[in-house]
């Protein structure tokens, strides 16, 4: 049920109206292509939209566990999900965004840089004064045998009232394995790694 | 005007009452969702530890002043006001200024290294509205142009997404194993965010069936590859609904939500105009029949 088209004045100048649409459309396309050509292809809202394009590549995400002093006396080693110590910390409840923390974890240096330690201390400031947490790097990849998924949790940092500290992960196969730094600052001897788990699949 | 451009914008075609309402609904959804994002981010931004990896305009100017609750709330209020002035056609530059303010809020929110893509389509819709309002004064032309520019930008965006996937892995991208890997990644995210593992029925079914996982990925890739077809009015509805279905599948299986994209695609893809026009025609016919019977 058509009611009306363009107003009387514009109707007489339809070619100009159409030309204007094309020009503005071309300008929008040009801006779009220029914006994604510079830098890393991201200039909101313009983007190359590379999400999910890196299919099959291993991933790394952040994972935080609250641990007790007793649990911290045990070796902190790479484990499967069911062997994680402590209890989960629901980041959403504390308005901490999982994507933001994971972006930091992906770029963590060994040992952690002062800037990253300060950033994380500030990010977890509301939580760390009355609890001690271990920040894990959760990573997932395919097994070479059957392409099932293997997910492991690697402890990276201890975050607590006294700040952010590195965790040195123990490799018992290496000679002169480094000592592990505990949250209390004291060194402890290396301990055997827990048995490798078959993953979540 | 060539066929392709006329499919996006035809000023000669009369606008039905239903089309007018559907376009208004699209505008309302865009403005309402933009308000929601602005005020949601305004609660998070002051809690962030700075902007170590600025995006967008943050690469050109220092936007660290936005990490402050006064600044971020003021920007949200101002941006929202400009959008409302654009929606009510009181300020020609309203949508454009609203778009700029929204960009600033986005840059302040996502300056920690991870950019979010769920609001990109919302940004395109705002930009389309801004361009339409600046290009034309006539309300009918503005509505038609806004839809045309939205379709233009959306079709390019989804096509680029398909190209990125095909460049990276070719058609092998649609291997169901890849979806398994992603579901496990998202599972870790869900536990990290909420403290509890949660897997729905579809996720469990996909993890048990490689053909189902492959089919889902193939469907999503096909929807993106065909997104340029939305230029053609005859299939525009189906293309948009297919993309909306893709997003709903991603939300349910991957727990990644593109709510603004789904809302906009549904507002433009569902036969709302046709339904309204049909109801109006039926009512007009009933009234006419009643008048004829009365006279008889």
pLDDT at A197: 27
User: Chain B partners of A39 at a C-beta cutoff of 8 Å?
Assistant: 59
User: Chain A partners of B101 at a C-beta cutoff of 8 Å?
Assistant: none
pLDDT at A170: 52
Q: What percent of chain A has pLDDT over 70?
A: 77
Residue in the block written with tokens 């962030």:
B48
pLDDT digits (tens, 9 = 90+) for B57-113: 888 899 999 999 999 999 999 999 999 999 999 999 999 999 999 999 999 999 887
Most confident of A166-175, B138-147, B195-204: B138-147
pLDDT at A95: 81
Contact call for residues B247 and B264 (beta carbons, < 8 A): no
Q: Of A188-197, B32-41, B264-273, which gets the smallest average pLDDT?
A: A188-197
Strand partners for A158: A134, A165
pLDDT of A173 > 60? The answer is no
pLDDT at B269: 96
pLDDT at A194: 26
* Average pLDDT over all residues of chain B: 93
Q: Of B152-156, B201-205, B263-267, which gets the smallest average pLDDT?
A: B201-205
Is residue B53 very low, low, confident or very high in pLDDT (cuts 50, 70, 90)?
A: confident
Is residue A1 very low, low, confident or very high in pLDDT (cuts 50, 70, 90)?
A: very low
Q: What number is the ipTM of this complex?
A: 0.89
Strand partners for A4: B15
* Average pLDDT over all residues of chain A: 78
Q: What is the mean pLDDT of residues B139-153?
A: 96
Q: What is the mean pLDDT of residues A128-147?
A: 90
Calculate the alpha carbon distances from B34 to B27, B39, B100, B101, B264 in Å. 11, 9, 12, 11, 12
pLDDT at B79: 97
pLDDT of B196 > 90? The answer is no
pLDDT digits (tens, 9 = 90+) for B166-195: 999 899 999 999 999 999 999 999 999 888
pLDDT at A8: 45
Measuring CA to CA, which residue among B154, B151, B24, B21 is closest to residue A21? B151
CB-closest option in A24, A56, A119 to B49: A119
- Whether the link from the prior residue into A27 is cis, omega within 30° of 0, is no
The shortest C-alpha distance from B190 to chain A (Å) reads: 9
Is residue B31 very low, low, confident or very high in pLDDT (cuts 50, 70, 90)?
A: very high
**Between chain A and chain B, how many beta carbons pairs sit less than 8 Å apart?**
217
User: Chain A partners of B141 at a C-beta cutoff of 8 Å?
Assistant: 6, 10, 17
pLDDT at A193: 27
User: Chain A partners of B9 at a C-beta cutoff of 8 Å?
Assistant: 18, 21
pLDDT at A100: 86
Q: What is the mean pLDDT of residues B45-50?
A: 86
pLDDT at B116: 83
pLDDT digits (tens, 9 = 90+) for A49-72: 988 888 889 999 999 999 998 888
Instruction: Sort A168 into a burial class: Cβ within 10 Å, 0-12 / 13-18 / 19+.
Output: middle
Give the span between the Cα atoms of B296 and B120, in whole angstroms: 60
Give the span between the Cα atoms of B256 and B218, in whole angstroms: 18
pLDDT digits (tens, 9 = 90+) for B275-291: 999 999 999 988 888 88
Joined tokens for residue A61: 């995400």
CB-closest option in A21, A61, A148 to B192: A61
CB-closest option in A2, A63, A119 to B52: A119
Contact call for residues A65 and A85 (beta carbons, < 8 A): yes
pLDDT of B51 > 50? The answer is yes
Q: What is the mean pLDDT of residues B129-137?
A: 96
Give the span between the Cα atoms of A125 and B44, in whole angstroms: 15
User: Chain A partners of B117 at a C-beta cutoff of 8 Å?
Assistant: 47, 49, 51
User: Chain B partners of A92 at a C-beta cutoff of 8 Å?
Assistant: 193-194
The shortest C-alpha distance from B215 to chain A (Å) reads: 15
User: Chain A partners of B253 at a C-beta cutoff of 8 Å?
Assistant: none
The shortest C-alpha distance from B42 to chain A (Å) reads: 12
The shortest C-alpha distance from A191 to chain B (Å) reads: 27
Which of A25, A33, A198 should one mutate to test binding to chain B, selecting the residue with the greatest count of B CBs within 10 A? A25
Q: What is the mean pLDDT of residues B159-169?
A: 94
pTM: 0.82
Contact call for residues A180 and A187 (beta carbons, < 8 A): yes
CB-closest option in B14, B173, B192 to A64: B192
The shortest C-alpha distance from A174 to chain B (Å) reads: 30
pLDDT of A185 > 70? The answer is no
Most confident of B40-54, B133-147, B190-204: B133-147
Calculate the alpha carbon distances from B70 to A133, B43, B62, B80, B192 in Å. 32, 11, 17, 15, 30
């Amino acid at each position: 049920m058509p009611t009306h088209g363009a107003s009387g004045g514009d109707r007489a100048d339809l070619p100009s109206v159409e030309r204007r649409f094309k020009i503005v459309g071309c300008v929008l396309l040009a801006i779009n292509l220029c914006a994604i050509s510079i830098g890393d292809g991201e200039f909101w809202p313009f983007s190359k939209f590379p999400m999910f394009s890196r299919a099959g590549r291993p991933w790394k995400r952040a994972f935080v566990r609250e641990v007790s002093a007793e649990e911290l006396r045990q070796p902190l080693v790479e484990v499967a999900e069911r062997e994680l110590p402590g209890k989960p910390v629901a980041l959403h409840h504390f308005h901490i965004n999982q994507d933001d923390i994971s972006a930091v974890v992906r770029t963590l240096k060994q040992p952690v840089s002062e800037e990253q330690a300060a950033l994380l201390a500030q990010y977890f400031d509301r939580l760390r004064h009355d609890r001690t947490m271990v920040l894990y790097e959760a990573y997932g990849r395919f097994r070479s045998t059957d392409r099932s998924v293997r997910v492991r949790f690697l402890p990276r940092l201890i975050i607590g009232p006294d700040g952010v500290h590195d965790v040195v992960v123990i490799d018992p196969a290496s000679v002169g394995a480094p000592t592990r730094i505990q949250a209390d600052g004291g060194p402890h001897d290396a301990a055997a790694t827990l048995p490798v788990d078959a993953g979540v699949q | 005007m060539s066929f392709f451009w006329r499919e996006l914008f035809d000023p000669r075609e009369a606008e039905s009452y239903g089309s007018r309402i559907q376009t208004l609904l699209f505008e309302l959804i865009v403005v309402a969702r933009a308000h929601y994002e602005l005020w949601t981010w305004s609660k998070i931004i002051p809690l962030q530890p700075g902007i170590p990896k600025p995006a967008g305009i943050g690469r050109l100017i220092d936007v660290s002043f936005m990490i402050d609750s006064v600044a971020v709330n003021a920007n949200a209020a101002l941006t929202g006001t400009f959008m409302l002035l654009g929606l009510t056609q009181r300020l020609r530059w309203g949508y454009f200024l609203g778009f700029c303010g929204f960009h600033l809020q986005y840059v302040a929110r996502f300056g920690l290294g991870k950019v979010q893509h769920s609001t990109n389509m919302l940004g395109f819709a705002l930009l389309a509205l801004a361009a339409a309002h600046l290009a034309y004064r006539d309300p009918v032309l503005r509505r038609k142009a806004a839809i045309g520019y939205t379709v233009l930008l959306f079709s390019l965006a989804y096509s680029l997404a398909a190209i990125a996937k095909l460049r990276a892995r070719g058609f092998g991208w649609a291997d169901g194993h890849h979806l398994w890997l992603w579901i496990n990644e998202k599972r870790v995210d869900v536990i990290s965010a909420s403290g509890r593992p949660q897997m729905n029925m579809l996720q469990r079914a996909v993890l048990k069936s490689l053909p189902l996982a492959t089919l889902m990925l193939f469907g999503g890739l096909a929807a993106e590859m065909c997104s340029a077809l939305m230029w053609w009015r005859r299939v525009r509805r189906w293309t948009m609904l297919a993309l909306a279905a893709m997003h709903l599948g991603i939300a349910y299986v991957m727990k990644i939500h593109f709510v603004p994209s789904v809302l906009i695609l549904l507002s433009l893809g569902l036969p709302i105009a046709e339904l309204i026009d049909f109801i109006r025609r039926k009512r007009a016919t009933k009234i006419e029949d009643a008048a004829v019977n009365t006279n008889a």
